[in-house]
Amino acid sequence: MRPKVKAGGRVDAVDCARGLALIGMAAYHLIWDLADYRFVSPALPFAPPMRALSHTVASAFLLLVGVSLALAHRNRVNFPAFLRRFVVIGGAAGLVTAGSLVFAPAEAIWFGILHCIAAASLFALPMIEASATVSLAAGAIAIALPVFIHSKLFDPPFLLWIGLGEKLPDTLDWRPLLPWAGVVFFGLAAARMPGAMARLISPKRWRAASAFSRALCFAGRHSLPIYLVHQPVLIGLVAAAAHLGLGAILPAGEPDDRAFLAACERACVAGGSSPDACASSCRCAADAIERAPQAKRLGEGPLDPAQTADLKRLVAACLAQ
């Protein structure tokens, strides 16, 4: 028999959605870890589907930030609660930056997704009690601005985080305020749509019943600590597997780049370039990965930050053509 629940409280649909986003995030990072140890092709992390996965996962997290802001302050803005949340997220972002400075100083994370969530939440604060139209308009503007405005004037480090510069930093995680804050604003707007809040907190709302859905909800409710610890755990497991020689059971050898080339060319053509130009630039990217010294030593363990940055620049140079 379905248990009766009161309005308010945790919203399982939101928690489970966040749990699914965590699975996508872990899968994306696992592919990078496997490529570092040559369990999979070094070209795989650069494939367009991997970039699509990265953007999809980030968008899901940011959209849910907006929805959660609306839920947490559905009657009026609770400033003490907002401040506590901001301090926790800001502190976690600081830990990520500090950790990256220690373990990957050449690709330190100065404005990753946690930094973006903290900053976007501040900008969303005035819109929490406004109508959905205001948040929708703000979201559209935030996403459109980088398309029409980009200048070297925004390239200095103290302005680069805004997202209007032309420079792309060498970093392990880069989610500038624009356009990504727009996704938070869209999430806020979605929860503020007429009738949306009533459905979200209704006593008849969906509740997690199966063991899998309850596990997803549990993960979604504890997404921040999971985010902070998942990569060290994944790297440790992959490194242990490599140390035990388990990579021998997988097809390492010379990586097959056909899947990379096919996905790259599809995405390139879909972006409006000619098939010949796309075939050339994608072949260049695949060849650059395979010729690079970084690729040759992937089977020996993870790359150091400088080598990873060089590899990324090789690929970006080809695709920029």
**Domain ranges, ordered by start, for the chain:** 12-238, 253-320
**CA distance linking residue 4 with residue 1, whole number of Å:** 9
Mean pLDDT of 81-86: 96
In this predicted model, what pLDDT tens digit does every residue of 127-158 receive, in sequence order?
999 999 999 999 999 999 999 998 999 999 89
Instruction: State the pLDDT at residue 244.
Output: 83
Share of the chain above pLDDT 90, in %: 58
Query: Residue 82 pLDDT > 90, yes or no?
Result: yes
Tell me how far CA of residue 135 lies from CA of 114, 124, 164, 187, 191, in angstroms: 21, 8, 21, 9, 10
Instruction: State the pLDDT at residue 6.
Output: 47
pTM of the model: 0.82
- pLDDT, greater one: 234 or 308: 234
Cis peptide before 179 (omega within 30 of 0): yes
Tell me the pLDDT of the chain averaged across its residues.
Answer: 85
66 burial level (CB within 10 Å; 0-12, 13-18, 19+): buried
In this predicted model, what pLDDT tens digit does every residue of 204-226 receive, in sequence order?
999 999 999 999 999 999 999 99
The residue count for the chain:
321
Of 105, 109, 103, which Cα lies nearest the Cα of 232?
A: 103
Instruction: State the pLDDT at residue 253.
Output: 44
**CA distance linking residue 12 with residue 220, whole number of Å:** 9
Residue type, 239: A
Q: Please, are residues 317 and 285 in contact by the beta-carbon 8 Å criterion?
A: no
Instruction: State the pLDDT at residue 220.
Output: 96
Q: Please, are residues 161 and 98 in contact by the beta-carbon 8 Å criterion?
A: no
Of 225, 234, 319, 232, which Cα lies nearest the Cα of 281?
A: 319
- pLDDT, greater one: 60 or 241: 60
In this predicted model, what pLDDT tens digit does every residue of 230-289 receive, in sequence order?
999 999 999 898 888 775 444 444 455 666 677 677 767 766 677 788 788 888 877 877
Query: Residue 63 pLDDT > 60, yes or no?
Result: yes
Instruction: State the pLDDT at residue 160.
Output: 94
In this predicted model, what pLDDT tens digit does every residue of 155-173 receive, in sequence order?
998 999 999 998 888 788 9
Band (pLDDT 50/70/90 cuts) for residue 309 is low
Tell me how far CA of residue 48 lies from CA of 122, 199, 265, 319, in angstroms: 32, 37, 9, 11
Instruction: State the pLDDT at residue 3.
Output: 43
Instruction: State the pLDDT at residue 168.
Output: 81
Tell me how far CA of residue 59 lies from CA of 124, 175, 250, in angstroms: 16, 10, 32
- pLDDT, greater one: 303 or 25: 25
Band (pLDDT 50/70/90 cuts) for residue 306 is low
**CA distance linking residue 9 with residue 71, whole number of Å:** 9
